[in-house]
Amino acid sequence: MNDVPEKQHDTERDWAAIAQSLAPVEVIDEPVLVKKRSRDFFWYSPILNQELRKCFGDLVALPKTRQELAQCLAVAYSEEIPVVLRGGGTGNYGQAVPLEGGLIIETTAMNRILEIGDGFVRAEAGALMADINAALQPEGWEMAMFPSTQDIATVGGFVAGGSAGIGSVANGPLRENGNIISIKALSMEAEPVEHSFDGDDVLQIHHAWGLNGAITEVTLRTVPTQDWIGCMAGFDDYADCYRAGYALASAPDEDIARKLCSTVDSRICDYFPRLENHVPKGKHLLVSLVPRDQLPAFRNLIEAHGGTVHLAMDEEERTRLRLPHVFEFAYNHTTLQVLKSDRSATYQQIGVPDPSDSDRVAAMRNKLGDDVWSHHEFTRAGGKVLTADLPIIWFKNPERLAEINATYESDGFTVYDAHLNAIEGNHMQPDYRHLAWKKRLDPKGLLNPGKSRVWEKLRHLSPEEIEAMGHKNET
Ligand SMILES: Cc1cc2nc3c(=O)[nH]c(=O)nc-3n(C[C@H](O)[C@H](O)[C@H](O)COP(=O)(O)OP(=O)(O)OC[C@H]3O[C@@H](n4cnc5c(N)ncnc54)[C@H](O)[C@@H]3O)c2cc1C
């Protein structure tokens, strides 16, 4: 179990006075609403649910501009108040849950799309991913990738907490290929300063869980938009479905430039009531987005692997059928569909050692019990196809979960534990660049305290000394 102390309302501070000193920034102090904004989707994990459900902030600020955001940070700095930045609150590991109470700064009112140009979009941190995609489309562009939560997630939350998404099987994860062009972030000081991170330097801030600066603005790479067809193909055998998924993810872009490639066990698909009457029951599904002109090649690939395309819909057809986007049956939406019916389900994040070795994947499915149902996401990174298993697990107790993890690990699969509320989880090494920038931009250590276990051990060091620890680890 993670060691998280219970945190109730901090009655020692005069929160009414603090709210006043934030004026004219809008605040929320109604306890029920503050509690709501202290949560994210950590409840996917029964372990995190147990640990985090009683951790709440004390006050919420809703800045509309970066000047208002700077004011929030300056007040919190002078009063030494812990601060958690929050976008849409869709993180899965409790990244936006205040472990030490304090001020929650929600960015959703800082939501302007500032510039759309050739191959990029620049937006304020609180802009919704779906709004950005909608603004890009008439200009002939779309984001290189976006999370399946695009209706709620913000661009700042995505670059601070996310890693990949719809589009990553074509354009790689967020951290690669110039997918993040630039990030601007404010420091937490008496007079906050805005810093700009460009090129590879965006990695100093990307995926730091809001520990080392308050993101104000993000520039993302965009790609020319295509006429996407949302497809669902059914298979009788999961091994065939997986092999088709791997073939689709590996196909040259000039043949099939798919933007989504997910394979889902039929037992999970039984929890997709919206697909009733559209896809036959009992089929393992390959969920994909394919350009219209490559649909014939896609059909050939599916049929060559023993499958059938049951649904192929453009936006007009999807609206007519009143169906969600196909990506709402992929990524962590798959888990959500099951959780809507049964809260005893949970999931895990597993790296597949050799995605091309479908026999090894099939053997692992056999080794795991009936309480683990496969769901594979295919992406590309460093020019290679990567596969992650995000299985549904019917949770019995932490011991059984540990046994499932050990089964995966016994054959070289990597467990990226989804049940930890620390940025340095299993197989996630400390990122000393993040921590060096935390020292520079948040010298008092007030941003999202408790989320980095390593920080407490080196907060007394200079940024250069912290950075040097990373170099030491590389040699
Ligand atoms: C159903 C479901 C599906 C998902 N699918 C995907 C997916 O496809 N790909 C993926 O990568 N993730 C996915 N996720 C995880 C999550 O949705 C994404 O990471 C999302 O982009 C987070 O955006 P948000 O605005 O909700 O961030 P939040 O949850 O509000 O915050 C995430 C982290 O970023 C920090 N943060 C937020 N705003 C700022 C800021 N302005 N400055 C500094 N730090 C900040 C927070 O403190 C927190 O640590 C999914 C989650 C769910 C529940």
For every residue of 114-144, DSSP letters joined together read EEEETTEEEEETT-BHHHHHHHHGGGTEEES
Ligand 1 centroid vs 288 CA: distance in angstroms?
23
- Of 415, 440, 455, which residue is a domain's last? 415
Distance CA 438, CA 444 (A): 9
Probe residue for ligand 1, chosen from 40, 149, 150, 268 as the CB with the greatest number of ligand atoms within 8 Å: 149
Q: Report which secondary-structure segment, H or E, holds 373.
A: strand 372-373
Ligand 1 centroid vs 206 CA: distance in angstroms?
12
Task: Note the pLDDT tens digit of each residue in 145-192.
Answer: 999 999 999 999 999 999 999 999 999 999 998 999 999 999 999 999
Please say if the pLDDT value at position 234 is more than 80.
yes
Task: Note the pLDDT tens digit of each residue in 37-93.
Answer: 999 999 999 999 999 999 999 999 999 999 999 999 999 999 999 999 999 999 999
Residue 391 has a pLDDT of 98
Whether residue 334 contacts residue 262, with contact meaning beta carbons closer than 8 Å, is answered with yes
> Is 75 among the domain residues?
yes
Mean pLDDT of 404-418: 97
Ligand 1 atom with the smallest distance to the CA of 85 is 47
Please say if the pLDDT value at position 475 is more than 60.
no
Task: Note the pLDDT tens digit of each residue in 286-344.
Answer: 999 999 999 999 999 999 999 999 999 999 999 999 999 999 999 999 999 999 999 99
Task: Note the pLDDT tens digit of each residue in 18-34.
Answer: 999 999 999 999 999 99
> 399 and 269, same structural domain?
yes
Residue 355 has a pLDDT of 98
Q: Is 192 in the pocket of ligand 1 (CB under 6 A)?
A: no
Residue 10 has a pLDDT of 72
Ligand 1 centroid vs 163 CA: distance in angstroms?
9
> Is 216 among the domain residues?
no
> Is 52 among the domain residues?
yes
Task: Note the pLDDT tens digit of each residue in 258-279.
Answer: 999 999 999 999 999 999 999 9
Q: Is 40 in the pocket of ligand 1 (CB under 6 A)?
A: yes
> Is 56 among the domain residues?
yes
Q: Is 148 in the pocket of ligand 1 (CB under 6 A)?
A: yes
Q: Is 141 in the pocket of ligand 1 (CB under 6 A)?
A: no
> Is 138 among the domain residues?
no
Whether pTM > 0.75 for this model: the answer is: yes
Residue 177 has a pLDDT of 87
Q: Is 157 in the pocket of ligand 1 (CB under 6 A)?
A: yes
Query: In the structure encoding, which two tokens stand for residue 368, read together?
Result: 């795991």
Q: Report which secondary-structure segment, H or E, holds 456.
A: helix 455-458
Ligand 1 centroid vs 296 CA: distance in angstroms?
36
> 411 and 276, same structural domain?
yes
> Is 425 among the domain residues?
no
CA distances from 361 to 251, 268, 308, 411 (A): 20, 17, 22, 10
Q: Whose CA is nearest to atom 43 of ligand 1?
A: 210
Ligand 1 centroid vs 96 CA: distance in angstroms?
8
**Closest of 63, 16, 9, 62 to residue 31, by C-alpha:** 9
Q: Whose CA is nearest to atom 6 of ligand 1?
A: 147
Q: Whose CA is nearest to atom 38 of ligand 1?
A: 157
Distance CA 338, CA 354 (A): 28
Task: Note the pLDDT tens digit of each residue in 344-385.
Answer: 999 999 999 999 999 999 999 999 989 999 999 999 999 899
DSSP 426: T
Q: pLDDT-derived band of residue 11, with 50, 70 and 90 as boundaries?
A: confident
Q: pLDDT-derived band of residue 456, with 50, 70 and 90 as boundaries?
A: very high
Task: Note the pLDDT tens digit of each residue in 203-226.
Answer: 999 999 999 999 999 999 999 999
Please say if the pLDDT value at position 3 is more than 70.
no
Residue 474 has a pLDDT of 58
Mean pLDDT of 123-136: 98
Q: Is 94 in the pocket of ligand 1 (CB under 6 A)?
A: no
Residue 131 has a pLDDT of 98
Q: Whose CA is nearest to atom 20 of ligand 1?
A: 158
Residue 9 has a pLDDT of 61
Q: pLDDT-derived band of residue 412, with 50, 70 and 90 as boundaries?
A: very high
Q: Is 92 in the pocket of ligand 1 (CB under 6 A)?
A: yes
User: In this structure, what CATH number is given to the domain that contains residue 370?
Assistant: 3.40.462.10
CA atoms within 13 Å, Cβ hemisphere of 252: 2
Q: pLDDT-derived band of residue 124, with 50, 70 and 90 as boundaries?
A: very high
- Of 415, 436, 468, which residue is a domain's last? 415
**How high is the mean pLDDT of the chain?**
95
Mean pLDDT of 109-113: 98
- Of 106, 128, 147, which residue is a domain's last? 106
User: Where on the phi/psi map is residue 126: left (φ > 0), alpha (ψ -120 to 50), or beta?
Assistant: alpha
- In the chain, the number of structural domains is 2
Q: Whose CA is nearest to atom 11 of ligand 1?
A: 162
> 243 and 94, same structural domain?
no
**Closest of 369, 227, 375, 224 to residue 290, by C-alpha:** 227
The percent of residues in the chain predicted with pLDDT above 70, rounded, is 97
83: containing domain: 15-106
Ligand 1 atom with the smallest distance to the CA of 336 is 1
CA 32, 35, 40, 42 torsion-angle sign: negative
Query: In the structure encoding, which two tokens stand for residue 453, read together?
Result: 């276990």
Residue 428 has a pLDDT of 73
DSSP 23: T
Q: Is 87 in the pocket of ligand 1 (CB under 6 A)?
A: yes
User: In this structure, what CATH number is given to the domain that contains residue 59?
Assistant: 3.30.43.10
Ligand 1 atom with the smallest distance to the CA of 44 is 53
